[in-house]
Every structure is written in structure tokens, then in C-alpha cells.
Structure 1
Amino acid sequence: MVLKKVYRWTPTFPFYYGWAILVAAFFSTFAATSVAQVVLGGVQMYILEDTNWSKTEFSFTIACGTWISGFISPFIGKLADKYGPRQLMPAALILISLCYFGIYGIPAFWAFAVGYVISRTISQPILINVVPRTVTVNFFRAKRNIALSLVTMSRPVAGAINVQLIAFITQRYGWRTAYNFLGWFSLALSIPVFFIMRKKPEELGLLPDGVKLETTYTVNDISIPVEYSWDFKSAIRTKAFWFLAAVITFVTLSSSSVSFTLVPYYVEQLGMSNLQAASIFSLGTVLALSNLLWGILADKYSPRKILIFNLCIAGIMMLFLMNLQHPYQAWIFAILWGVFSGAAGTLEQMVIAQYFGRASYGTITGAIGPMQITALGLGPTLGALIRVQFDSYAPLYICIAILYVICAGLTLAAKPPVAKQLNP
């Protein structure tokens, strides 16, 4: 009886419960990004200098964790739709805390490799991507686009904080101590996440956006039509699903190719130092925070229209990148690229939620995970091969510009599907 009461206890907040869900999701993402690829890229010099591990083996370990996480996304998506985040996220936090403790306590490379691959594999879909986005879609409708943009922003913000935090602790106590601290943080975080997380607002007697179940669904005195949701089998039979899956895959391929080649391009083309080029690249990453603006625009107009506009501008920016002549132009490109490049992934998720509803959102987005992670891995390889083959970055950026235009066309063709049978 006591355990049942504890399990059923729900914390109360002076604001809509969905916002508490987003706060819990942010801190979970913070714990998870400790092993994100972008964070390891920023702190790897501390690890390699301390251990003298092979850089090739280290990089291969990072790649393995990233790839495996993508291929389990369909499975995690189904679990997110069926059980929700309350069981998945605390369990993932406990497991990654054990991995962090292993990284801290066992000096051998195999311990780091096993701990990293396991923590990366489970944290990416459960604490960063599929599960947090699924619960966000379930709890919000009228403000869904803004909520999704906030969830997407969590990753770059948490990643930037993690890089600085790990560097700070490493300089004083060592990088292993940093992961010991993050292990205790993750373990402690599992408790509030367990009590806060819920699958749907209906479990709390609410509809999305905090509307009471017994009332007419209105937000700001505006009546909102009832949302219907596609089941997974019906969704994958639509042209819209495959068009959007292609857009997500090609955009990931393009953006990863650009990200991988930007720093060497700045150095070779403009004669910048590595430090200058890296600083400009970091600026573009920080400006991904503009996702909130895109969420507001998507609410005002439509995520599909905004996505088409975004992709067209991205294609034009590739032509601008090819013709950079001075360092100040690289700063201009970095600002524009940071604003536009990070928004595409968020807008894609908004379109999927708008088209297919919330009942199978996790399964639908999870199914695209293997395609997306394959593209993420191929992007840097494609960039390197084209650079070596043509001794120039121009052919690569021309191909990427064409891909962005194709993606804009596919998004235009991906009209809202009409279902013969819809599930509320």
C-alpha cells in the first residue's frame, strides 16, 4: 500500500504541469550530453593527454556509441508510445550513472569503451531525442511548436555547459572526477524525474496545454479542433511520411558534411588559424538557440512553410560559403548558418507531429532514426572523399546546395495526409 501511494503521488506546481516536464527533460538531457559526440569532441584532448590512448580507437568508440543509439531508436520509440517516460528515463539515468562510475573507477581503456558505448546508446534516444520529444508532443498542442523548440534547444545548451563543467573539474581534479560527479548527479536526478514524468496529461485529468478534461478544448478563448492520431502502420503507407523521412535523412547528411569541413575550409581557404576557425564554428553552434524564434514563427504560420523557407535559405548559403574571400565574411556566414542550420531538425519534428498526431509519435520518429544516424555517419566521410577527389570543397558545397533545394521540393510535395481511418 505504501509503495502504491508513493508511486501514485504527483507533485503540484503553480503552472501547467507540461512545463515541469520540460524542466525535468532538460536536466535529463544535461546528464546525457556528458557523453554526446559534441561534448567528447570538446574535452577529448584532456582524456587523450592523460591516458595516451590511441586516437583511432577513441574515435571508433565514440562512433560506435552514436551509431548503435540510432539503430535502437525504433525500439525505444515503441516503448515511449506504450509506457511513456516515467519508467524509461529514470532507468536510463541510473544505468548511465553506473557507466560514469565505471569510467571514473576503472582506468583501463576497455572500461571507458564499454561505459561510453552503453551510456551513449541508451541516453541518445531516451534522454535526448525520442522520449523527451514524444512526451512534449503528448503534453502540448496549441503551444507544441514552442515546446518542441525548447526541448531541441536543450541539447546545445546542455552540451555547452557540460564542456565547460568537465573542463573546469578536469583542470583541478582530473577528467575522471568530472564523470564521477556527473554519475552522482545522474543518480540523484533519477528520483525527481521518476516522480515528475507522466506519459500523457490525461493521467492528471487534463488535456494538452492544461485544458480540463470536462471542458471544451479552447486555448486563449479560441476553440481548438480535436486532434486525431495516425497509427504507425497507416503512417508509413503515406507519401508524406517517406518524403519527410527523406528530408530528415538528406538534411542530416548535408549538415554533418558541412560541420565536418567548415574548420579546415576556413583554414585552407581564408588562411585562418585553427583557433580562429574553431571560434567561428563555436559561434554557429551557440546561435542554434534561435530555435525558439522558429517555434514562434511555426505557431504563427505553419511549420511546413517555415521549413521550406529554411531549406531554400540553407541552399543559398552554400553558394555564399563557396565564395568567401575574407575572414569577416566567415563570421557573417557563421551567424546565418547558426540561425538556419539548427532549425531544420526542429521544424521537421513539428511537421511530423502536425501531420500524424501524438498517439504513435515516438514510433514514427523512432523509425526514421536508423536512416538519420546512417546519414550522420556518412556525412563526414562524404565530405572527406569529395575533398580528396577534386582537391576542392566547391563540388561538395554545390552538391549540398542541390540537396537542400531537393529537400525543399520534397517538403512542398509532402502535403498533409488524409486518412481513411483515424484514431483519436
Structure 2
Amino acid sequence: MSGIVQFRRPKIFYGWYIVFATGFVMTIATVPLFHAMTLWAVALENHFGWPRGQLSLALTLTRIEGGLMGPVEGYLTDKLGGRRMVLIGFLILGLGFLIFWQIDAAFWPVAPLYMFYAAYMVMALGQGMGSWVPMMTTINNWFSRRMASAMGWANFMSRGGALLIIPLIDLGINGSVGVPFTDITLGINHVVGWEGVAFILAVVIFAVALPLSFIIRNRPEDIGLRPDGENVPATRAGRRAAAAQAQGLTAQQAVRTPAFWLIAVGHGMTSMIILAIFTHLGLLLKDAGFEQYAGTVVILYTLVSMFSQPLGGYVGDRFPKRIGLFVFTSIQASAVVLLTFSTELWMFYTFAVIFGIGFGGRNPLTTSIRGEYFGRGNFGKILGISTIPMNGLLLISSPFAGYMYDWQNSYTIAFLVLAAFNYAGGVCFLFAKRPRIPNTPEATPSVPASAAAPATGDDS
């Protein structure tokens, strides 16, 4: 019919739905376990009176487990896809929170401290299998040119979720939460306690596991798309060339490059202080007389890091990622030095702002640099293998801070040492030059036309 103009609704590239799903997955899986650890630590110390070195050991055990399971998680992600891995991981994570809910129950054959360790290991297993490795691999499959930005926005959404979850956990455990840069606290009359919060989290995790698995698609080719939403090459030769270009290095080739080890060690060194802060920040604030503001400081650095995530992604898509990593990790280390000597509440808030900038900006770059350097064909395996040296460093950070405190009644030396490791990790990133991807059959295997063409999906 002439004279009638028809408008088609613009299609949103499905990869952005994957980004949204990743943000949600990371929020549910990592925030209660790691970001809120400082709130759990204060509650458990008050309830059981455990020494801080023993409290810190829980995160150490998760890093030992992570180092052992990382390659397995990477292999399973490449084999099963992120879709199935999220479902499996969330079911295990929910079970872990159920155990945490009942760690002091009389029916356990061991003391509550050991059940706390067991619960955290089960939760860490579920978190590892169902969040970072599978979802970062999935985003790496869906994006190429805009990979850093996609990871930045996923982390932005994760931090946005943390802004909701952390104060809710704080309210549930303590009944109050402070307002940043003021002496005002908001409270509620009914407190469910740390046990009740753990049970609620278990229920939520079980409830969202299956719906999330329906949203996630492992690769754009599964639904007839290409990374970044680009057009599918019209010819068979074009499809073969595109598939070969995306394949990148094998895991065996990647581990033989200096870049692999510099990135893995740099990532581990710059994450050591983060793990220590997750555990000890609330305890440090308690010692300074600001225990009621622990959740507020966590919320503040989470808020700042939320907006720093897309900034890091923007930088990574336009400038060398290794330089961006050096800058952001140096900012993060400088914040820790400030934290070490903080005595007033405004100093802790200033730390939170600076730390949020560095911590948030580095996050999308630590993963996207691997995709840029090593390709998407074996990304899950490469990412999983890299967790071995990373977790080898992470497992000592939190207990080191805890035992140094138990020995000296101060975090000063521990945090300064970890800040020095942080600076050294930034230098590792700076020297991580992009490896040359050889044009060999091993690196770019012959891909059948059916593999390069749109697939029907292998786990729908």
C-alpha cells in the first residue's frame, strides 16, 4: 500500500542480553560470598569468638580449591558451555549456603569452625563452576571488537546488584546500615541474623538457577549470529577464514608464551589485597571504632567501582590493555596505602573512592586482555589454567593479614606488603606484550563449513 510507511523495531544484539545475564550471575554468585565476607567475618567473630587467622583460612581454602578446580572448570566450560555450567554451579552454590545456615547445628560430627570451612568450600565450588570462568568465556564468544566494553558493562551491572545486596545483607545481619559521609545510620526492627540471611540466599539462588540457564546462549553461531552482531560471511571461504581467525592459540601454545604467565601472575598479585580487604576491612573498621560503617564503606567502593567498570572497558577498547591495567592497579595499590594509615571515618571513605576507581577499572581488562591475546577457540581452558598461579598467590593473602594481626595487633605491615605486591603485579601487566598467533594448523585448525555456519545449538 503506497503512502504507508512501515517501521521495523530495531533489533538488540543478543550479546547484550548475555551481558545482562552475566551481570546478574556475577551478582548472585560472587557478592554474598566474597564482597560480603567482611560482614560475615564480623558477625562470626562476635558470635563464635574465632581468631581472625582462623576466619581468614576460609578464603584460603577456597583459593586452594580454585587452583585445583580452575583447569577443570575451563575444560568443562569449553565442553559443556556456559549455559549448563551456570545451572550446575548455582545448584552447588545454593547447597553451600544451606550448609552455612546450619554450621552450628548439633547434628554435625565436627565443630562449627570446620563446618564453616566446609560450607565456604562448597559455595566456592559452585561459584567457580557457575560464574566467572563460564560467563567470561561466554562473553568472549559473543564479542570481539567490543569485548572489554561488554565485560565492563557486565561488571557494572554486577556492582549495581551489589549496591542492593550488600546493604540488605548488612541490614539482615546487624539491623542497621550507615549513610556515607554522615553519622546517620538506618535501622530495622527485625533482624534475621547471619543464619537467616544465609538461608534466604540459598532460596534465591535455587529459584533463579533454571531461568538463568534458559537465557544464556553459549555462542552467537548457535542462533545464527556472529560476534559483535556482524554479518555472517556470504561465502564458505569467508566463513572458514572468520572461524580460523577467531580460533587463536591452543592452551598448550598459550602457556608457552611469556604473556600468559605475566598476566596470570599480575592478576594474582593485584588480587591478593582485594581478597584480604574482603575479609579484614570490616574488622579494621571495628578496631578503629567504626564497626557500624563497615557495610557503608563496602557500598561506597562498590558504587564507585560500578561506574569505573565501563570506564575500564572504554579504555581497553581504545588503548593498549596492558597500559590501562598498569594505571588502574597502581591506583588500587595507592588506595591500600591510604587505608593502612586511616584513623578517621572520612579517610576510610576516601580510601573507598580511590580503591573503587582502581578496582573497578582493572576488572574488565584482566579478562578481556586474555581474549585479545589468545583468541576465543580455547578461552575457557586458558582462563582455567591461569587460575593455578593466580590462586597460588591468593591463598596466602587473607591468612597472612589475619596472622600478622594476631601477632602484632595491627594490619600495618600486612597491608603495606600486599600493596607492594599489588604494584609489582601492575608492572607484570605492563610488560605483557601480545604474542604472535602463528598461522599454523595447530593454531588455526581447518574448520568445517558446518562449524562456521549457524548452528542449531547443542544444549537447548
Report the TM-score, using the length of structure 2 for normalisation: 0.73
Deviations 1:278-333 (A, max 9, x none): 64454223322121211112212232221122233345555555666765444333
1:273 and 2:290 matched: yes
The 8 Å contact of residues 43 and 166 in structure 1, kept in 2 or not, is answered as: no
The 8 Å contact of residues 329 and 426 in structure 2, kept in 1 or not, is answered as: yes
The 8 Å contact of residues 260 and 386 in structure 2, kept in 1 or not, is answered as: no
1:408 and 2:411 matched: no
Q: Give me the whole-angstrom Cα distance separating, in 1, the residues matched to 2:430 and 2:57.
A: 38
Change (3 A) 1:388 1:80: same
Aligned to 1:6: none
1:423 and 2:444 matched: yes
1:37 and 2:23 matched: no
Change (3 A) 1:124 1:381: same
After TM superposition, give the deviation of residue 338 of structure 1 in Å. 1.5
After TM superposition, give the deviation of residue 100 of structure 1 in Å. 4.7
After TM superposition, give the deviation of residue 152 of structure 1 in Å. 3.2
Aligned to 1:136: 139
Counterpart selection for 1:334 from 330, 352, 358 = 352
1:124 and 2:143 matched: no
Taking the TM superposition and a 5 Å limit, the aligned residue runs for 1:208-287 are 208-214=227-233, 226-257=245-276, 273-276=290-293, 279-287=296-304
Change (3 A) 1:296 1:110: farther
Change (3 A) 1:166 1:260: closer
Q: Give me the whole-angstrom Cα distance separating, in 2, the residues matched to 1:390 and 1:53.
A: 22
Q: Give me the whole-angstrom Cα distance separating, in 2, the residues matched to 1:153 and 1:110.
A: 40
Report the TM-score, using the length of structure 1 for normalisation: 0.78
After TM superposition, give the deviation of residue 273 of structure 1 in Å. 3.5
Change (3 A) 1:215 1:293: farther
Deviations 1:238-290 (A, max 9, x none): 0111111111121122444466565666677xx65333566445422332212
After TM superposition, give the deviation of residue 46 of structure 1 in Å. 6.1
The 8 Å contact of residues 35 and 116 in structure 1, kept in 2 or not, is answered as: no
Change (3 A) 1:30 1:381: closer
Taking the TM superposition and a 5 Å limit, the aligned residue runs for 1:16-415 are 16-33=13-30, 36-43=33-40, 55=50, 63-65=60-62, 67-100=64-97, 107-108=105-106, 110=108, 113=116, 116-117=119-120, 119-166=122-169, 171=190, 178-214=197-233, 226-257=245-276, 273-276=290-293, 279-289=296-306, 290-317=308-335, 327-384=345-402, 395-396=413-414, 399-415=417-433
Give the secondary-structure state (helix, strand or coil) at the position aligned to 1:190: helix
Larger helix proportion of the pair: 1
Give the secondary-structure state (helix, strand or coil) at the position aligned to 1:199: coil
The 8 Å contact of residues 260 and 383 in structure 1, kept in 2 or not, is answered as: no
Aligned to 2:183: none
The 8 Å contact of residues 271 and 422 in structure 2, kept in 1 or not, is answered as: no
Aligned length: 401
Deviations 1:347-396 (A, max 9, x none): 21121111111111111111122332332331133335566778876655
Identity among equivalent pairs (%): 21
Deviations 1:180-236 (A, max 9, x none): 5444433332332232222211111111112232359xxxxxx9x944411100000
- The residue identity in structure 1 corresponding to 2:148 is N
Change (3 A) 1:215 1:297: farther
Q: Which stretches in structure 2 are left out of the alignment for 5+ residues?
A: 1-9, 110-114, 174-189, 236-241, 446-460
Provide the alpha-carbon RMSD of the alignment: 3.8
The 8 Å contact of residues 133 and 380 in structure 2, kept in 1 or not, is answered as: yes
The 8 Å contact of residues 331 and 354 in structure 2, kept in 1 or not, is answered as: no
